[in-house]
Amino acid sequence: MLDPAGAAIVLFVLFFGLLALGTPISIAIGVSSVVTGFAYLPSSVISFVSAQKMFSGIDSFTLLAIPFFVLAGNIMNKGGIAIRLINLAKLLGGRMPGALAHTNVLANMLFGSISGSSIAAAAAVGGVMGPLQRKEGYDPAFSAAVNIASAPTGILIPPSGPLILFSLVSGGTSISALFLGGYLPGILMGLSVMMVITFFAVRRGYRTEGSVSWSEVLQVIWQALPPLLMIILVIGGIAIGAFTATEGAAVAVLYSFVLSLMYRMASLQEYLEALKSSAVTSCSILFLIAASGIMSYVMTIAGIPNVIAEAILTFDNPIVILLVMNICLLIIGFFMDLTPAVLIFTPIFLPIATEIGIHPVHLGIIMIFNLGVGSMTPPVGSVLFVGCAVANLRIDQVVRPILPFFFATSAALLLTTYVPWITLALPRFLGLM
Protein backbone atom coordinates (compact mmCIF):
# COMPACT_ATOMS: atom_id res chain seq x y z
CA MET A 1 0.00 0.00 0.00
CA LEU A 2 1.29 3.45 -0.92
CA ASP A 3 1.57 6.26 1.59
CA PRO A 4 -0.41 9.44 0.71
CA ALA A 5 2.63 11.20 -0.78
CA GLY A 6 3.44 8.19 -2.96
CA ALA A 7 -0.18 7.90 -4.05
CA ALA A 8 -0.24 11.58 -5.01
CA ILE A 9 2.92 11.16 -7.08
CA VAL A 10 1.58 8.09 -8.88
CA LEU A 11 -1.82 9.69 -9.49
CA PHE A 12 -0.63 13.03 -10.86
CA VAL A 13 2.39 11.69 -12.78
CA LEU A 14 0.10 9.21 -14.53
CA PHE A 15 -2.52 11.88 -15.12
CA PHE A 16 -0.20 14.50 -16.62
CA GLY A 17 1.77 11.81 -18.47
CA LEU A 18 -1.39 10.63 -20.21
CA LEU A 19 -2.31 14.22 -21.04
CA ALA A 20 1.14 14.73 -22.57
CA LEU A 21 0.52 11.69 -24.78
CA GLY A 22 -2.68 13.30 -26.08
CA THR A 23 -5.16 11.21 -24.09
CA PRO A 24 -8.58 12.89 -23.63
CA ILE A 25 -8.68 14.44 -20.19
CA SER A 26 -11.66 12.42 -18.95
CA ILE A 27 -9.91 9.15 -19.91
CA ALA A 28 -6.69 10.36 -18.25
CA ILE A 29 -8.59 11.10 -15.05
CA GLY A 30 -10.28 7.68 -15.03
CA VAL A 31 -7.21 5.58 -15.90
CA SER A 32 -4.84 7.33 -13.47
CA SER A 33 -7.43 7.05 -10.69
CA VAL A 34 -8.13 3.34 -11.25
CA VAL A 35 -4.42 2.46 -11.47
CA THR A 36 -3.72 4.33 -8.23
CA GLY A 37 -6.74 2.63 -6.63
CA PHE A 38 -5.15 -0.79 -7.21
CA ALA A 39 -2.75 0.04 -4.38
CA TYR A 40 -5.65 0.14 -1.91
CA LEU A 41 -8.36 -2.21 -3.20
CA PRO A 42 -8.47 -5.50 -5.15
CA SER A 43 -9.01 -5.12 -8.89
CA SER A 44 -12.57 -6.49 -8.78
CA VAL A 45 -13.52 -4.09 -5.99
CA ILE A 46 -11.97 -0.98 -7.56
CA SER A 47 -13.72 -1.78 -10.87
CA PHE A 48 -17.10 -2.07 -9.16
CA VAL A 49 -16.54 1.04 -7.02
CA SER A 50 -15.35 3.06 -10.03
CA ALA A 51 -18.53 2.31 -11.96
CA GLN A 52 -20.59 3.15 -8.89
CA LYS A 53 -18.80 6.47 -8.36
CA MET A 54 -19.19 7.44 -12.01
CA PHE A 55 -22.96 6.95 -11.89
CA SER A 56 -23.39 8.59 -8.48
CA GLY A 57 -21.26 11.55 -9.61
CA ILE A 58 -23.79 12.58 -12.24
CA ASP A 59 -26.94 11.48 -10.38
CA SER A 60 -27.95 15.05 -9.54
CA PHE A 61 -30.95 17.15 -10.53
CA THR A 62 -28.82 20.30 -10.18
CA LEU A 63 -26.47 19.10 -12.92
CA LEU A 64 -29.29 19.48 -15.46
CA ALA A 65 -28.70 23.23 -15.20
CA ILE A 66 -25.44 22.89 -17.13
CA PRO A 67 -26.85 21.52 -20.44
CA PHE A 68 -29.75 23.97 -20.21
CA PHE A 69 -27.45 26.99 -19.78
CA VAL A 70 -25.18 25.68 -22.57
CA LEU A 71 -28.20 25.41 -24.88
CA ALA A 72 -29.45 28.88 -23.90
CA GLY A 73 -26.04 30.35 -24.76
CA ASN A 74 -25.95 28.62 -28.15
CA ILE A 75 -29.46 29.79 -29.03
CA MET A 76 -28.52 33.37 -28.11
CA ASN A 77 -25.44 33.14 -30.27
CA LYS A 78 -27.48 31.98 -33.28
CA GLY A 79 -30.61 34.05 -32.71
CA GLY A 80 -29.37 37.64 -32.97
CA ILE A 81 -29.28 38.39 -29.25
CA ALA A 82 -25.51 38.94 -29.14
CA ILE A 83 -25.57 41.81 -31.66
CA ARG A 84 -28.15 43.72 -29.58
CA LEU A 85 -25.95 43.45 -26.52
CA ILE A 86 -22.93 44.57 -28.55
CA ASN A 87 -24.85 47.65 -29.72
CA LEU A 88 -25.67 48.48 -26.09
CA ALA A 89 -22.00 48.03 -25.17
CA LYS A 90 -21.01 50.44 -27.98
CA LEU A 91 -23.39 52.98 -26.52
CA LEU A 92 -21.91 52.60 -23.01
CA GLY A 93 -18.25 52.60 -24.04
CA GLY A 94 -18.36 55.00 -26.96
CA ARG A 95 -17.09 58.13 -25.15
CA MET A 96 -13.85 56.58 -23.84
CA PRO A 97 -10.45 56.48 -25.59
CA GLY A 98 -10.23 53.17 -27.41
CA ALA A 99 -14.02 53.03 -27.57
CA LEU A 100 -14.25 49.84 -29.63
CA ALA A 101 -11.94 47.95 -27.26
CA HIS A 102 -14.03 49.10 -24.27
CA THR A 103 -17.10 48.00 -26.20
CA ASN A 104 -15.56 44.55 -26.58
CA VAL A 105 -15.11 44.27 -22.80
CA LEU A 106 -18.60 45.49 -21.97
CA ALA A 107 -20.14 43.22 -24.61
CA ASN A 108 -18.32 40.20 -23.17
CA MET A 109 -19.58 41.10 -19.69
CA LEU A 110 -23.16 41.50 -20.95
CA PHE A 111 -23.13 38.39 -23.12
CA GLY A 112 -21.39 36.38 -20.39
CA SER A 113 -24.03 37.47 -17.91
CA ILE A 114 -26.63 35.78 -20.12
CA SER A 115 -24.81 32.80 -21.66
CA GLY A 116 -22.55 31.91 -18.70
CA SER A 117 -19.76 30.84 -21.06
CA SER A 118 -16.44 32.59 -21.63
CA ILE A 119 -15.83 30.57 -24.81
CA ALA A 120 -19.21 31.51 -26.28
CA ALA A 121 -18.58 35.16 -25.42
CA ALA A 122 -15.09 35.13 -26.99
CA ALA A 123 -16.47 33.61 -30.19
CA ALA A 124 -19.66 35.67 -30.52
CA VAL A 125 -18.29 39.07 -29.47
CA GLY A 126 -14.85 38.62 -30.98
CA GLY A 127 -16.37 37.66 -34.32
CA VAL A 128 -18.26 40.96 -34.46
CA MET A 129 -15.79 43.35 -32.81
CA GLY A 130 -12.56 42.10 -34.40
CA PRO A 131 -13.34 43.29 -37.96
CA LEU A 132 -14.67 46.64 -36.65
CA GLN A 133 -11.44 47.28 -34.71
CA ARG A 134 -9.28 46.34 -37.68
CA LYS A 135 -11.22 48.79 -39.83
CA GLU A 136 -10.54 51.57 -37.28
CA GLY A 137 -6.78 50.86 -37.27
CA TYR A 138 -6.48 48.89 -34.03
CA ASP A 139 -3.58 46.46 -33.77
CA PRO A 140 -5.21 43.03 -34.46
CA ALA A 141 -3.13 41.33 -31.76
CA PHE A 142 -4.17 43.98 -29.21
CA SER A 143 -7.83 43.57 -30.19
CA ALA A 144 -7.61 39.80 -29.81
CA ALA A 145 -5.92 40.21 -26.42
CA VAL A 146 -8.75 42.49 -25.25
CA ASN A 147 -11.35 39.94 -26.32
CA ILE A 148 -9.50 37.02 -24.71
CA ALA A 149 -8.83 38.85 -21.44
CA SER A 150 -12.41 40.05 -20.98
CA ALA A 151 -14.25 36.87 -22.03
CA PRO A 152 -13.64 35.06 -18.66
CA THR A 153 -15.86 37.64 -16.94
CA GLY A 154 -18.68 35.44 -18.26
CA ILE A 155 -17.86 32.64 -15.81
CA LEU A 156 -17.92 34.99 -12.81
CA ILE A 157 -20.99 37.05 -13.71
CA PRO A 158 -23.91 34.60 -13.43
CA PRO A 159 -25.24 32.31 -14.65
CA SER A 160 -22.07 30.23 -14.51
CA GLY A 161 -21.61 26.52 -15.14
CA PRO A 162 -18.32 26.36 -13.18
CA LEU A 163 -20.02 27.89 -10.13
CA ILE A 164 -22.73 25.22 -10.36
CA LEU A 165 -19.99 22.57 -10.48
CA PHE A 166 -18.28 24.10 -7.46
CA SER A 167 -21.57 24.02 -5.56
CA LEU A 168 -21.92 20.29 -6.22
CA VAL A 169 -18.32 19.31 -5.51
CA SER A 170 -18.14 21.41 -2.34
CA GLY A 171 -21.09 19.59 -0.85
CA GLY A 172 -23.97 21.93 -1.59
CA THR A 173 -22.71 25.51 -1.27
CA SER A 174 -25.66 27.79 -2.09
CA ILE A 175 -25.85 28.36 -5.85
CA SER A 176 -27.81 31.58 -5.28
CA ALA A 177 -25.05 32.92 -3.00
CA LEU A 178 -22.34 31.88 -5.48
CA PHE A 179 -24.18 33.54 -8.37
CA LEU A 180 -24.62 36.84 -6.54
CA GLY A 181 -21.11 36.62 -5.13
CA GLY A 182 -19.71 36.57 -8.66
CA TYR A 183 -21.13 39.92 -9.77
CA LEU A 184 -18.67 42.34 -8.15
CA PRO A 185 -15.54 40.22 -8.84
CA GLY A 186 -16.68 39.83 -12.47
CA ILE A 187 -17.19 43.58 -12.81
CA LEU A 188 -13.81 44.18 -11.13
CA MET A 189 -12.17 41.84 -13.63
CA GLY A 190 -13.75 43.75 -16.52
CA LEU A 191 -12.70 47.11 -15.08
CA SER A 192 -9.09 45.93 -14.71
CA VAL A 193 -9.05 45.09 -18.43
CA MET A 194 -10.56 48.50 -19.26
CA MET A 195 -7.83 50.29 -17.26
CA VAL A 196 -5.17 48.65 -19.43
CA ILE A 197 -7.13 49.53 -22.57
CA THR A 198 -7.31 53.20 -21.53
CA PHE A 199 -3.54 53.33 -20.99
CA PHE A 200 -2.72 51.91 -24.42
CA ALA A 201 -5.53 53.80 -26.17
CA VAL A 202 -4.12 57.15 -24.99
CA ARG A 203 -0.58 56.17 -26.02
CA ARG A 204 -1.64 54.93 -29.46
CA GLY A 205 -4.26 57.55 -30.18
CA TYR A 206 -7.25 55.22 -30.47
CA ARG A 207 -10.23 57.52 -30.76
CA THR A 208 -13.65 57.68 -29.17
CA GLU A 209 -16.84 56.94 -31.07
CA GLY A 210 -18.88 59.78 -32.56
CA SER A 211 -21.88 61.22 -30.80
CA VAL A 212 -25.28 59.60 -31.28
CA SER A 213 -28.73 61.11 -31.25
CA TRP A 214 -31.23 60.54 -28.47
CA SER A 215 -33.45 58.59 -30.85
CA GLU A 216 -30.56 56.19 -31.58
CA VAL A 217 -29.85 55.85 -27.85
CA LEU A 218 -33.45 54.98 -27.10
CA GLN A 219 -33.61 52.55 -30.00
CA VAL A 220 -30.48 50.66 -28.84
CA ILE A 221 -31.74 50.49 -25.25
CA TRP A 222 -35.17 49.33 -26.38
CA GLN A 223 -33.65 46.54 -28.51
CA ALA A 224 -31.38 45.41 -25.64
CA LEU A 225 -34.10 45.40 -22.98
CA PRO A 226 -35.57 41.93 -23.73
CA PRO A 227 -32.17 40.14 -23.38
CA LEU A 228 -31.38 42.15 -20.23
CA LEU A 229 -34.75 41.28 -18.72
CA MET A 230 -33.73 37.64 -18.91
CA ILE A 231 -30.98 38.34 -16.38
CA ILE A 232 -33.53 39.77 -13.96
CA LEU A 233 -35.95 36.92 -14.58
CA VAL A 234 -33.47 34.04 -14.26
CA ILE A 235 -30.99 35.28 -11.64
CA GLY A 236 -33.66 37.16 -9.70
CA GLY A 237 -35.89 34.08 -9.66
CA ILE A 238 -33.05 31.89 -8.38
CA ALA A 239 -32.01 34.47 -5.76
CA ILE A 240 -35.48 34.88 -4.25
CA GLY A 241 -36.15 31.15 -4.33
CA ALA A 242 -38.90 31.25 -6.95
CA PHE A 243 -37.18 28.36 -8.73
CA THR A 244 -34.00 26.30 -8.55
CA ALA A 245 -30.91 26.81 -10.70
CA THR A 246 -32.04 23.95 -12.96
CA GLU A 247 -35.51 25.42 -13.39
CA GLY A 248 -33.94 28.84 -13.99
CA ALA A 249 -31.76 27.34 -16.72
CA ALA A 250 -34.84 25.83 -18.38
CA VAL A 251 -36.53 29.25 -18.22
CA ALA A 252 -33.43 30.76 -19.87
CA VAL A 253 -33.71 28.26 -22.74
CA LEU A 254 -37.41 29.00 -23.26
CA TYR A 255 -36.91 32.78 -23.02
CA SER A 256 -33.93 32.83 -25.43
CA PHE A 257 -35.79 30.59 -27.90
CA VAL A 258 -38.87 32.84 -27.89
CA LEU A 259 -36.66 35.93 -28.36
CA SER A 260 -34.75 34.37 -31.24
CA LEU A 261 -38.04 33.42 -32.92
CA MET A 262 -39.18 37.02 -32.59
CA TYR A 263 -35.93 38.33 -34.12
CA ARG A 264 -36.12 35.80 -37.01
CA MET A 265 -32.34 35.74 -37.49
CA ALA A 266 -31.81 31.98 -37.16
CA SER A 267 -32.89 29.22 -39.52
CA LEU A 268 -34.16 25.77 -38.57
CA GLN A 269 -30.74 24.36 -39.50
CA GLU A 270 -29.03 26.75 -37.09
CA TYR A 271 -31.35 25.71 -34.26
CA LEU A 272 -30.50 22.07 -34.98
CA GLU A 273 -26.80 22.95 -34.93
CA ALA A 274 -27.30 24.66 -31.57
CA LEU A 275 -28.96 21.52 -30.19
CA LYS A 276 -26.18 19.29 -31.54
CA SER A 277 -23.41 21.54 -30.23
CA SER A 278 -25.08 21.75 -26.82
CA ALA A 279 -25.44 17.96 -26.63
CA VAL A 280 -21.78 17.38 -27.49
CA THR A 281 -20.55 20.00 -25.01
CA SER A 282 -22.86 18.77 -22.24
CA CYS A 283 -21.88 15.11 -22.74
CA SER A 284 -18.18 15.95 -22.52
CA ILE A 285 -18.74 17.93 -19.31
CA LEU A 286 -20.90 15.20 -17.73
CA PHE A 287 -18.38 12.48 -18.62
CA LEU A 288 -15.66 14.59 -17.02
CA ILE A 289 -17.77 14.88 -13.88
CA ALA A 290 -18.37 11.12 -13.85
CA ALA A 291 -14.65 10.34 -14.23
CA SER A 292 -13.70 12.86 -11.57
CA GLY A 293 -15.92 10.95 -9.13
CA ILE A 294 -13.41 8.10 -9.28
CA MET A 295 -10.48 10.46 -8.71
CA SER A 296 -12.16 12.12 -5.72
CA TYR A 297 -12.81 8.70 -4.17
CA VAL A 298 -9.25 7.47 -4.73
CA MET A 299 -7.77 10.71 -3.35
CA THR A 300 -9.96 10.34 -0.27
CA ILE A 301 -9.01 6.72 0.51
CA ALA A 302 -5.34 7.58 -0.14
CA GLY A 303 -5.48 10.61 2.19
CA ILE A 304 -4.07 12.95 -0.47
CA PRO A 305 -6.20 16.05 0.39
CA ASN A 306 -5.18 15.82 4.05
CA VAL A 307 -1.47 15.63 3.19
CA ILE A 308 -1.65 18.62 0.84
CA ALA A 309 -3.70 20.58 3.38
CA GLU A 310 -1.19 19.85 6.15
CA ALA A 311 1.70 20.92 3.91
CA ILE A 312 0.06 24.25 3.01
CA LEU A 313 -1.14 24.91 6.57
CA THR A 314 2.45 24.68 7.85
CA PHE A 315 2.82 28.32 6.75
CA ASP A 316 0.51 29.17 9.69
CA ASN A 317 -0.41 32.57 8.23
CA PRO A 318 -3.75 33.07 6.42
CA ILE A 319 -2.30 35.76 4.14
CA VAL A 320 0.55 33.50 3.01
CA ILE A 321 -1.75 30.46 2.73
CA LEU A 322 -4.14 32.37 0.45
CA LEU A 323 -1.19 33.53 -1.67
CA VAL A 324 0.08 29.94 -1.99
CA MET A 325 -3.41 28.74 -2.94
CA ASN A 326 -3.68 31.47 -5.59
CA ILE A 327 -0.29 30.61 -7.07
CA CYS A 328 -1.18 26.90 -7.15
CA LEU A 329 -4.53 27.59 -8.83
CA LEU A 330 -2.96 29.94 -11.41
CA ILE A 331 -0.38 27.29 -12.30
CA ILE A 332 -3.13 24.66 -12.49
CA GLY A 333 -5.06 26.98 -14.82
CA PHE A 334 -2.03 27.21 -17.13
CA PHE A 335 -2.08 23.45 -17.73
CA MET A 336 -5.67 22.30 -17.14
CA ASP A 337 -9.08 23.27 -18.41
CA LEU A 338 -11.48 24.85 -15.95
CA THR A 339 -14.04 22.06 -15.51
CA PRO A 340 -11.65 19.24 -14.51
CA ALA A 341 -9.65 21.66 -12.35
CA VAL A 342 -12.78 22.55 -10.34
CA LEU A 343 -13.72 18.88 -9.99
CA ILE A 344 -10.26 17.70 -8.94
CA PHE A 345 -8.97 20.51 -6.73
CA THR A 346 -12.08 21.70 -4.87
CA PRO A 347 -11.88 18.71 -2.47
CA ILE A 348 -8.22 19.58 -1.85
CA PHE A 349 -8.57 23.31 -1.20
CA LEU A 350 -11.94 23.33 0.59
CA PRO A 351 -10.57 21.84 3.88
CA ILE A 352 -7.72 24.37 3.81
CA ALA A 353 -10.14 27.26 3.34
CA THR A 354 -12.38 25.96 6.12
CA GLU A 355 -9.38 25.69 8.46
CA ILE A 356 -8.41 29.34 8.01
CA GLY A 357 -11.98 30.65 8.11
CA ILE A 358 -12.62 31.30 4.40
CA HIS A 359 -16.30 31.05 3.49
CA PRO A 360 -17.03 28.43 0.79
CA VAL A 361 -18.68 31.11 -1.39
CA HIS A 362 -15.51 33.20 -1.21
CA LEU A 363 -13.37 30.16 -2.03
CA GLY A 364 -15.57 29.33 -5.02
CA ILE A 365 -15.15 32.79 -6.51
CA ILE A 366 -11.39 32.73 -5.84
CA MET A 367 -11.07 29.37 -7.63
CA ILE A 368 -13.17 30.35 -10.65
CA PHE A 369 -11.40 33.72 -10.91
CA ASN A 370 -7.99 32.00 -10.86
CA LEU A 371 -8.96 29.41 -13.43
CA GLY A 372 -10.58 32.10 -15.58
CA VAL A 373 -7.28 34.00 -15.66
CA GLY A 374 -5.55 30.71 -16.50
CA SER A 375 -7.91 30.16 -19.44
CA MET A 376 -6.39 33.16 -21.25
CA THR A 377 -2.80 31.82 -21.05
CA PRO A 378 -0.86 29.13 -22.92
CA PRO A 379 -0.39 26.21 -23.17
CA VAL A 380 -3.97 25.00 -22.52
CA GLY A 381 -6.02 28.21 -22.36
CA SER A 382 -9.34 27.40 -24.05
CA VAL A 383 -10.36 31.08 -24.33
CA LEU A 384 -6.93 31.90 -25.78
CA PHE A 385 -7.38 29.30 -28.53
CA VAL A 386 -10.90 30.45 -29.39
CA GLY A 387 -9.93 34.14 -29.35
CA CYS A 388 -6.96 33.52 -31.65
CA ALA A 389 -9.06 31.39 -34.02
CA VAL A 390 -11.74 34.09 -34.28
CA ALA A 391 -9.07 36.75 -34.94
CA ASN A 392 -7.17 34.54 -37.44
CA LEU A 393 -3.95 34.97 -35.47
CA ARG A 394 -1.32 32.57 -34.16
CA ILE A 395 -1.01 32.17 -30.40
CA ASP A 396 2.56 33.51 -30.38
CA GLN A 397 1.28 36.77 -31.92
CA VAL A 398 -1.12 37.34 -29.02
CA VAL A 399 0.96 36.20 -26.02
CA ARG A 400 2.92 39.42 -25.63
CA PRO A 401 -0.07 41.81 -25.98
CA ILE A 402 -2.01 39.77 -23.42
CA LEU A 403 0.64 40.07 -20.68
CA PRO A 404 -0.49 43.52 -19.38
CA PHE A 405 -4.05 42.18 -19.13
CA PHE A 406 -2.82 39.10 -17.29
CA PHE A 407 -1.07 41.24 -14.66
CA ALA A 408 -4.07 43.59 -14.33
CA THR A 409 -6.57 40.75 -13.86
CA SER A 410 -4.17 39.05 -11.42
CA ALA A 411 -4.15 42.26 -9.37
CA ALA A 412 -7.97 42.22 -9.40
CA LEU A 413 -7.81 38.59 -8.30
CA LEU A 414 -5.61 39.44 -5.31
CA LEU A 415 -7.96 42.27 -4.35
CA THR A 416 -10.90 39.85 -4.48
CA THR A 417 -8.94 37.31 -2.45
CA TYR A 418 -7.93 39.63 0.38
CA VAL A 419 -11.11 41.73 0.51
CA PRO A 420 -13.88 39.17 1.11
CA TRP A 421 -16.49 41.95 1.15
CA ILE A 422 -16.25 42.15 -2.66
CA THR A 423 -17.59 38.61 -2.91
CA LEU A 424 -19.82 38.35 0.13
CA ALA A 425 -21.53 41.76 0.22
CA LEU A 426 -24.40 41.01 -2.19
CA PRO A 427 -25.25 37.51 -0.83
CA ARG A 428 -25.28 38.89 2.71
CA PHE A 429 -27.33 41.93 1.75
CA LEU A 430 -30.02 39.65 0.28
CA GLY A 431 -29.88 37.26 3.24
CA LEU A 432 -28.53 34.27 1.29
CA MET A 433 -25.81 33.45 3.82
pLDDT at 250: 87
Question: Is residue 291 a part of any domain in this protein?
Answer: no
pTM of the model: 0.83
pLDDT at 416: 95
Q: In tens digits, what is the pLDDT along the chain, a chain of 433 residues? A: 667 777 778 888 888 888 788 888 788 888 888 888 887 777 777 778 888 888 877 777 777 778 888 888 778 777 777 778 777 877 776 677 778 888 888 888 887 777 667 777 787 777 777 887 787 788 888 989 998 999 888 889 888 878 888 988 888 888 889 989 999 999 999 999 999 998 888 888 776 666 667 777 788 788 888 888 887 888 788 778 788 878 888 888 888 888 888 877 778 888 888 888 888 878 877 887 788 788 878 887 877 777 777 888 888 788 999 999 998 888 888 777 787 888 888 888 998 898 888 999 999 999 999 988 988 887 667 788 888 888 888 888 888 999 999 999 999 999 999 999 999 999 998 877 6
pLDDT at 411: 95
CA 62, CA 168: separation in Å to the nearest integer?
Answer: 8
pLDDT at 115: 67
Question: Is residue 413 a part of any domain in this protein?
Answer: yes
pLDDT at 119: 76
Question: Is residue 5 a part of any domain in this protein?
Answer: no
Count of domains for the chain: 1
Question: Is residue 247 a part of any domain in this protein?
Answer: yes
Range of the domain at 278: 61-282+304-429
CA 31, CA 263: separation in Å to the nearest integer?
Answer: 47
Question: Is residue 6 a part of any domain in this protein?
Answer: no
Quick check: 18 and 31 in contact, CB under 8 A? yes
Question: Is residue 298 a part of any domain in this protein?
Answer: no
Question: Is residue 299 a part of any domain in this protein?
Answer: no
pLDDT at 222: 85
pLDDT at 359: 93
**HEC string of the chain?**
CCCHHHHHHHHHHHHHHHHHCCCCHHHHHHHHHHHHHCCCCCHHHHHHHHHHHHHHHCCCCHHHHHHHHHHHHHHHHHCCHHHHHHHHHHHHHCCCCCHHHHHHHHHHHHHHHHHCCHHHHHHHHHHHHHHHHHHCCCCHHHHHHHHHHHHHHHHCCCCCHHHHHHHHHCCCCCHHHHHHHCHHHHHHHHHHHHHHHHHHHHHHCCCCCCCCCHHHHHHHHHHHHHHHHHHHHHHHHHHCCCCCHHHHHHHHHHHHHHHHHHHCCCCHHHHHHHHHHHHHHHHHHHHHHHHHHHHHHHHHHHCHHHHHHHHHHCCCCHHHHHHHHHHHHHHHHHHCCHHHHHHHHHHHHHHHHHHCCCCHHHHHHHHHHHHHHHCCCCCCCHHHHHHHHHHCCCHHHHHHHHHHHHHHHHHHHHHHHHCCHHHHHHHHHCCCC
**Around Cβ 354, how many Cβ atoms within 10 Å?**
13
pLDDT at 432: 76
Question: Is residue 26 a part of any domain in this protein?
Answer: no
